[in-house]
A and B are shown apart, each in its own frame.
Chain A
Amino acid sequence: MHDAAPKTPLPKPARGLFWNPYLQILLTVVLTAAAQILLKIGADGSTGDASVGAWLGINELADGWTWLGILAFVSSFGSWLYALRFLPLGLAFSLTNGVHILVPLGSWLFLREHLGPLRIAGISIIIVGILLLAQSVAHAEEKV
């Protein structure tokens, strides 16, 4: 995995299901999906003008949904930092693509949005990709 200068091998996580880094990645994904939806609701509700505040997304901070979204983002950040202690960045980040499975599935389940064939194909391809990434992680851990 790290062929040059592996100063410290990746540490072993504490025992117990909750401290499993993969469960923490799943938590990151669920919280990020919630955050994205909340932030979009907040952004839609704000007025768009051409000021500096608008470009930096400052105006959106006035919306309560945005703050709920930020809360979800901060929580997802905690579980993400925890997972980073135990997993390589490239693989861990790619696993967070699970967000793009959860958002359309959640919209279909809870908001009754239409789930077209293209979207189903996309979700399936992401699932295969994530399974391959998970295998890659398992393989890398065997070598350590």
Chain B
Amino acid sequence: MSALTWTLVLISQLALVAGQIYLKRAMTRREQADSRGWITLLVIGITTMTVWFLLWLGAMARVDLSQLMPMEGLSPLLIVVGAMIFLRERLDWRGWTGVALTCVGVVLVSMS
């Protein structure tokens, strides 16, 4: 992978994390008594996810899926850390072990 491809894959992963956080915030706001602004949050989330989608599609066209999968394997970890920082979510030891195991598993699946 060239430096440019790496950068684009990195930006796409960051867009994925940001987009998911906005989607979760939109759906949380929607449940509240004062649900104003949830559509705006949803639109920001969908726009950010579109950036992720197009960059990922572009990367898939020029990089083997087996090379992209380790990055894909990292995404749950990035999401969990992002949700900790921006949504104040907490994981217990089962959750952390589960995230770590799935990351290892995804890399193993992509190696074969």
Contact = CB atoms under 8 A, between A and B. Distances in A.
B40 interface: no
Among A5, A7, A57, A128, the most chain B Cβ lie within 10 Å of the Cβ of A57
B111 A48 contact: no
Interface string A81-97: 10011001111011011
Contacts of A117: 112
A132 B112 contact: no
B50 to A, nearest CB: 10
Interface in B34-70: 49, 53-58, 60-62, 65, 69
**B interface, how many residues as a size bin?**
35 or more
B61 A136 contact: no
Interface in B13-43: 20-21, 23-24, 27-28, 30-32
Given A59-B61, A125-B108, A129-B99, A94 B89 contact: no
B97 to A, nearest CB: 5
